[in-house]
Amino acid sequence: QEHEKPPAVANGELRINGKGKKLRKPRTIYSSLQLQALNQRFQQTQYLALPERAELAAQLGLTQTQVKIWFQNKRSKYKKIMKQG
Please compute the mean of the pLDDT values over residues 32-48 and round it to a whole number.
98
Q: What is the CATH number of the domain that holds 37?
A: 1.10.10.60
Across the chain, mean pLDDT equals 86
| pLDDT(4) > 90 | no
Q: Would you say residue 61 lies in a domain?
A: yes
**Residue 62: inside a domain:** yes
Q: What is the reported pLDDT for 21?
A: 74
Give the range of the structural domain holding residue 80, as residue numbers without chain letter. 32-84
pLDDT at 32: 97
Q: In b/e form, how buried is each residue of 5-39, taking b as 16+ CB within 10 angstroms?
A: eeeeeeeeeeeeeeeeeeeeeeeeeeeeebeebbe
